[in-house]
Structure formats: structure tokens, C-alpha cells
Amino acid sequence: MTPLHRNDIAIDLGTANTIVRNSTEDALFYEATCIAIENKYGATRTIAIGNNAKKMLGRSPLDIEVINPVSNGAISDFETTKIFIRSLIEQAKTSALAPRVGISIPRNLTQVERHSLYEATMLAGAKEVLLIEDPFSASVGAGLDVSTPRAKMIIDAGGGLVEASIISLGGLVTSAFTKEAGDFIDYAIMEFCRHNKNIGISKETAENIKKNISVFNDNPSINIGAKNLINGMPIAYELHLNDFKNIILNGMEKIRKVALKAINEAPPQIAPDLIEDGVVLTGGLALMPGLKEYLQEELKIAIHLSTDPLLDISKGAWLIMQNYASYNQGL
């Protein structure tokens, strides 16, 4: 790595987690996209970011607000996003000089949202901001050569968005997305418990339930701590995981539809490449049990799970930053 690049920082600002790196080595920061801010005596200060802030959700006193600054891949709170990114930059920069920051973003962000993110990052201390679209970051991070005429398809399934994209000659051929992604499944599990079990569970509990359900096998029962919605008291509750299979299948079906839309909108010349090479599956939701097999069966195309689906975007963003001019056509 040359001195020119020692102060480069790549950020995967995800809805659920944020990943930061300043090289292709291990990620420097891989924690929840969450920040805890104290408002006291007319002044505000940051209490915690990342996982430490997430632990405070639902447990913080009245003068501490726990915020997720990103919703469905877009900025939901400009000021907290600026504070959050400033904290990340301070942790990741390797000199006193202002760093060049690359942020991977969903394709569906509007120009207003892109400008807000750009401005927030500049105000957070960057000397230059490069906005890199997720399909390119994910593809490069997964090891795909997107510069050739041979088309590559990637499905990036995350917490806030699922994006299916086909790339050829360094540019986007087709793309489709849905906001009914990992978080959507979590909230569906929470609502099922509320309406069918009369219990309230946290989003964290819903996430754990989602990760432990196999749609193709029989599932065990688990014991959880919940809130009895009839009398408001805490309760130890036994959940049968098989009850949630339809919710998981519904989430998988939405991913299938997004992938199918991207494929249907592609020209016929792309078909042989997809048949021979298949599709790469990446993102946190890619690790959901049975998703790879479900998509492969439904789409009748080989699905290849990335070797490092959680880190592809941050790694790809950093690699693109090092040769930004050659990728700029598609970005």
C-alpha cells in the first residue's frame, strides 16, 4: 500500500451494521449502525456508538436517545449520521490529515439523499468523498471481474434492502430492489408474536429466531423472555420455530421476485452467461438457512454463496477507491 492511500477509509454504511476499513486487511469497525446521544442540561454528547449503543436500546434513561441513523439504506437523521461518521473517521484515519472517504450506497438513493450523505461526510472531516454503488462494491469484493463483456449477476441481501443487479463492461445492465429485506422479516416475526401469541419480543430476539429457522427441516422449540401483552408482566415463553416457517418463506419469495425482475429485464445476450456462471449471493441475509437452496430451486440457476458475504461491500469499496477512475463509468 503506497503512502498516497494510507489515509483512505471505506465505509459500508448499512441499515443493520456498519463496516469500516482502511486496507484490504481486517475490518477496523464492524458493529451495529447505532448511536446513543445524551441530551442533558441543554447540551448533547455522544455516549456510545456501534454495539455498545445497540445494547442500550429499550434500556436507556429518558435523557439518552438511542438512534439508528440509517433506515432502508437511506439517511433517516442527518445530524446523528454526521456525528456517527465523524466517530468512524476518527477511529479509522491513520494520520492528522483529513482522509479520503468512500461510502458504498444503495442504487435507489435519490440525488437529495446522496447529497445529504456527501455533505454529512464532508462535515464529519473528510477531504474528499466518493459515493460507490453497492452492486459494484459487492461484486468487486466478492472477486468478480465486472470489466469484461461477460455479464455477472449478484444478489445483495441485507437488512434494509435486497438488490439484484447484472453488470457487464463496468456498467449496470439491469437492477431491481425491495425494501422488504432482513428487517422486514424481523418485524413480521415480532408482529406474529404480538397478534398470535399475545407476547412482545425485541427486534434482537426476532433476529435470533430468524437465524435459527430452517424452512426445509423440522425445527425445535426455544425458550425466550418476553412481555405478556395481556397483563404487561415479563414471561418465560416456549416458541415453536415451525410456526414461523411461512414468514421466512415469504421473505425468500420477495428476494426471488427481485432477482427474477432483474433477469427478465436483461437482454437475451445475457442469458448464456447466467446459465454458465450462475448468480453470486452476498449480504448478511445470504446466510439465512435455506435461502441459497430456495433460490436455486426456484430460479433454476446456480446460486453461489460468497465466501465472505458480510464483508464483500466494504472490501469492494476500498478496492474500487484505489482505482476509482477505471470504475467511474459504472458508478
Residue 143, all three cell numbers: 472477486
**Are residues 271 and 151 part of one domain?**
yes
Q: How confident is the model at residue 272 (pLDDT cuts 50, 70, 90)?
A: very high
Neighbours of 299 (CB within 10 A): 17
When the pLDDT of each residue in the chain is averaged and rounded to a whole number, the result is 91
Could you tell me if 18 and 11 are in contact, meaning their C-beta atoms sit under 8 angstroms apart? Answer: yes
User: pLDDT tens for residues 13-55?
Assistant: 998 899 999 877 778 899 999 999 998 887 889 999 999 999 9
Give yes or no for residue 176 having a pLDDT over 50. yes
**Are residues 156 and 207 part of one domain?**
no
Q: How far is CA 24 from CA 27, 118, 170, 192, 251, in A?
A: 8, 23, 21, 41, 32
Share of the chain above pLDDT 70, in %: 97
**Are residues 204 and 167 part of one domain?**
no
Q: Report the predicted TM-score, pTM, of the whole model to 2 decimal places.
A: 0.90
How far apart are alpha carbons 251 and 315 in whole angstroms? 27
DSSP 101-135: EEEEE-TT--HHHHHHHHHHHHHTT-SEEEEEEHH
State how many domains the chain has. Answer: 3
Strand, helix or coil at 290?
Answer: coil
Give yes or no for residue 89 having a pLDDT over 50. yes
Domain containing 160 equals 145-180+248-310
Domain annotation covers residue 60 = no
How far apart are alpha carbons 315 and 99 in whole angstroms? 17
**Are residues 168 and 210 part of one domain?**
no
User: pLDDT tens for residues 225-270?
Assistant: 999 999 999 999 999 999 999 999 999 999 999 999 999 999 999 9
Q: How confident is the model at residue 323 (pLDDT cuts 50, 70, 90)?
A: confident
